[in-house]
Structure 1
Amino acid sequence: MPDTTQDSQGAAAPPRPLPALMRSATFQQRLQDLHSTTMARVEPLLESAGSALEDLGDELGVLFDPEAINEMLAHEPGKVPVSAKSQAALAAQEAVQEQAEEAQMHRMTKSLLDPSKIMLKDKLAFVIGVTNVALTAFWIGRWPQTYHWYWLFKDIVLFTLRYFIYVKQGMHYMMFEYCYFANLLSLYHLFFAPQSALLRKFAFAVMSGPLMWSIVAMRNSLVFHDGDKITTLMMHASPALSAWCMRWYPQPRWTAGMSPDQLAAYNSASWFDMAIAPAALNLVWVVSYYLIIFVLVGKRIQARGYQNMFTAMVERPSARKSALAKLVLSAPKPLQPLVYLSIHTFAAWLSLLPTKLWFDSFTLHTMVLAGVLLWSTWNGANFYFRVFAKKLMADQAAKAEAKPAAAPTAAAGGAADGKKDS
């Protein structure tokens, strides 16, 4: 109990602190004083040691930096004498190395610019492209129920080639786009769940909506000798063609054993089925794409200079003039990816709205699909004739420049003959 005493008037005095607590407070104060004194003495020593280590690190770093060594030798040539003979040998070695590099570059350039090799590659690509168009038309006309097998084969071959090419070019993150995701979903329905009425309408809306209209929006072109253009067109056109085949020429086994009510549900669709439910796929892709491209590997993409669809459509200098890029770039920097993905989602939803009309009408679906494919052919024709027109103009300009140069030569030759005759 605390020690309490009374003063002269008999009132109780306040309790006195215990001696133990007084000793604790004094000991704690002594520890704090000791810590302050120690740190005041040690900190200057640590700073001096740190400065010495930094100087030592700089000196040792020179040993691993050839540029620093050369700079030191240039400023202090007396410390490391180099004989004239050694300098001549070094210069000769550098000359031999430069000649070897130039020869290697010449061989590579000659190989890359060999007209026979370029022509052979273009010819093969052209033949394969024309064969693909003919085979696609024949397959759909003869076996429309199995066209998705041919589509699967093209997906495997072309997507595999594109992946290895894109990896070398730092563009492999572009294969996270919605169209690849939609291709996989549609192929899953056709190969693993063709009897599902829900997936049938879901896949039809995706293949006849965002994928088909991407041909128009992205200006896909039927250019036979360009593998990248052919792959992009295939990625959008093959699903659209397969949607036409599976809707109007389904395999009998898909509907075998269905009741009349199930068959009616299988071949009918509401606006909700075609325009609202498939939009969920786009939302799933948007969230996944944002987390992967802009959160998980965003710093990696920026640090290594990799490309994705956002950089290609918005940040690339040649794309900044487009209305899409201007709209996205007008937003604050952190919000630009979200603005881009919001526009992408809204455009995909708009393309879903008319898919019920295609699902209900064979004639309308056929006309729209034919019109979109004809548009890609028109884009290919524009590409070909634009390229050929530039080449033709260049040839004509070269000929026009050669004619004036040849005329003075002929005139000079005639004058010389006249002098000889005289």
Structure 2
Amino acid sequence: MCTTDKVKMKDSKSKKKIRVNVHLTDDYFQLENPADADPQLKPPDKDSNSRFLEKIVFVLTSVAVILLTHGLTWAHWLLPFIYATSTPILVGIKTICYWRYKWQYFMVDFCYFANTLTLIYLWFPGEEDLFRVVFALANGPVLVAAAVYRNSLVYHHHDKITSCYIHFLPALLTFSIRWFPESTSRFWIKPFISDTPAFDIVWLYAAPFAFFFLHSALYCLIVNIVVRPKEPYVTSYSYLADKYDRLNCIGGPWGQGLVFYAMNWLFCLSSLLPALLAYTYFPVHCALLALVFLVVLWNGASYYVHVFSERGFSTTE
């Protein structure tokens, strides 16, 4: 996600500008650019090298869409290789970029935790219970978050594309393994499940929520107890607490934290429900993926029509 915690501007006009940008961007309601929140952070004018990199991102994104489409429809064996090779690279680049703007605590959010769990499963593909957990998380909170947090398919923007990637690829990979295990395993180091594990409410609902709860405990320990990052560092907790005054409905920092984590738990429990249906019914799984993709595609179209068409390649784009 792209945001800073310097979002409290003195004049109301600046606040309105930030709010508009929040709803047109990437992951976790992020801002368009740190310069939108604080003019002092305005980067230098982009030179030809920056434009060249954006062209490369555009081309690579287009190629990735073609490869993923090919992998989903015919060469299912491509998906494990694409995921295993590209995930460390993209997440590494995003970590470096976020560190620069003091956003590195966003990298301990749950979506990265779930992607790490998916990578672990790739190297232990015979674990049926682990597959159920990974499937539920990938097609539940991680996939649904792409729509809830307004991910946008913006072809030339590496941060937006990476955000779409980390929310979408685990679902596409588990889709292929769930419905086409043999063809997905064709060239992988070990075969994936030969027979689809039976529906199990414990491993498809209770266990995934336990993993989500465990992440919440670790996140609370890091962000709210041990490190407790202050300005200019930003976390999901500090940003959403600043954006939504309703998190203060109980009062005090502990009451605010309780509301924050309770809302996250409710989101997880509710988003796991469509994953249960997707695990059981192939048409439902296809419809779920298509629906979320259309939302992400619509958000990307909104960016190009409402933001890019107005600003073009500005220094804060």
Give the gaps of 5 or more residues in structure 2: 1-41, 186-190, 313-317
Tell me which residue corresponds to 1:154. Answer: 86
1:232 corresponds in structure 2 to: 163
- Counterpart for residue 294 of structure 2: 374
Quick one: which amino acid aligns to residue 235 of structure 2?
Answer: N
Please tell me the residue identity of whatever aligns with 2:73.
Answer: G
Could you tell me how far 1:250 is from its partner in structure 2? 1.1
The answer to whether 1:333 aligns with 2:263 is no
Q: CA deviation at 1:146?
A: 4.3
CA distance 1:287–1:353, change in 2 (3 Å): same
In structure 2, what residue type is equivalent to 1:327? Answer: R
Question: 1:312 aligned to 2:239?
Answer: yes
Counterpart secondary structure, 2:181: coil
Measured in 2, the distance between the counterparts of 1:364 and 1:249 equals: 16
Give me the CA root mean square deviation.
2.2
1:211 matched to 2:211? The reply is: no
The two structures have a TM-score, normalised by structure 1, of: 0.59
Distance 1:160 1:389 in 2: 31
User: In the alignment, which residue of structure 1 is the partner of 2:207?
Assistant: 277
- Per the alignment, do residues 308 and 249 of structure 1 end up closer, same or farther by CA in structure 2, a change over 3 Å counting? same
Correspondence for 1:123? 55
Quick one: structure 1 residues 365 and 116, their matched pair in 2 at CA, closer, same or farther if it must change by over 3 Å?
Answer: same
C-alpha separation in 2, matches of 1:116 and 1:165? 19
Residues 1:254 and 2:192 are matched in the alignment: yes
What letter matches 1:292 in structure 2?
A: I
Determine if the alignment matches structure 1 residue 136 to structure 2 residue 68. Answer: yes
Q: Deviations over 1:115-166 (max 9, x none)?
A: 6445433322211221221122123333214412211222111111111111
Distance 2:207 2:46 in 1: 54
> How far apart in 1 are the matches of 2:236 and 2:133?
25
* Partner residue, 2:307: 387
Q: Are 2:296 and 1:365 equivalent residues in the alignment?
A: no
Distance 1:145 1:361, change over 3 A: farther
Identity %: 27
Q: How does 1:23-422 map to 2 (within 5 A)?
A: 112-113=44-45, 116-192=48-124, 194-251=125-182, 253-255=191-193, 263=195, 266-298=196-228, 301-302=229-230, 304-315=231-242, 320=243, 325-335=244-254, 336-391=256-311
Name the CA distance, whole Å, in 2 between partners of 1:240 and 1:249. Answer: 14
Deviation, structure 1 residue 339: 1.6
Equivalent pairs counted in the alignment come to 264
CA distance in structure 2 between the aligned counterparts of 1:207 and 1:391, rounded to whole angstroms: 35
Distance (whole Å) between structure 1 residues aligned to residue 137 and residue 166 of structure 2 = 13
Which moves more between the two structures, 144-153 or 345-354? 144-153
Contact 2:177 2:192 (8 Å CA) reproduced: no
Q: What letter is aligned with 2:131? A: R
The structure where helix makes up a greater share of residues is 1
Distance in 2 separating the partners of 1:114 and 1:211: 33
Report Cα offsets for 1:18-60 as digits up to 9, x if no partner. xxxxxxxxxxxxxxxxxxxxxxxxxxxxxxxxxxxxxxxxxxx
SS of alignment partner, residue 353 of structure 1: helix
Answer whether contact 2:110 2:212 (CA < 8 A) is retained: yes
Is residue 274–residue 353 contact of structure 1 (8 Å, CA) maintained in 2?
no
Tell me which structure has the larger Cα radius of gyration: 1
Q: Quick one: which amino acid aligns to residue 314 of structure 1?
A: A
Q: Secondary structure at the match of 1:232?
A: helix
- Which digits, 9 at most, give the CA deviation of each residue in 1:368-390, with x for residues without a partner? 11121121111101100112442
Residues 272 and 384 (structure 1), Cα distance of their counterparts in 2 relative to 1, 3 Å cut: same
Distance 1:216 1:185 in 2: 21
Is the CA contact 1:220–1:229 (under 8 Å) kept in the aligned structure 2? yes
Letter aligned with residue 310 of structure 1: Y
Q: State the shift of 1:223 in Å.
A: 0.4
Amino acid paired to 1:174: F
- For 2:193 and 2:224, locate their aligned partners in 1 and report how far apart those are by CA, in whole Å: 44
In terms of mean alpha carbon deviation, does 273-282 or 231-240 score higher?
Answer: 273-282
Query: 2-side partners of 1:281 and 1:114: how far apart?
Result: 42
8 Å Cα contact 1:171-1:308 kept in structure 2: yes
- Provide the rounded CA distance (Å) in 2 between the counterparts of 1:239 and 1:114: 34
CA distance in 2, matches of 1:308, 1:113: 28
Structure 2 vs 1, CA of residues 244 and 172 (structure 1 numbering), >3 Å: closer, same or farther?
same
Please state how far the C-alpha of 1:349 moved relative to its aligned partner.
1.1
Question: TM-score, normalized by length of structure 2?
Answer: 0.77
* Pairwise CA distance, 1:255: 4.2
For 1:391-420, what per-residue CA distance to the aligned partner results, in whole angstroms no more than 9, with x for missing partners?
48xxxxxxxxxxxxxxxxxxxxxxxxxxxx
Which amino acid letter does the alignment assign opposite residue 149 of structure 1? F
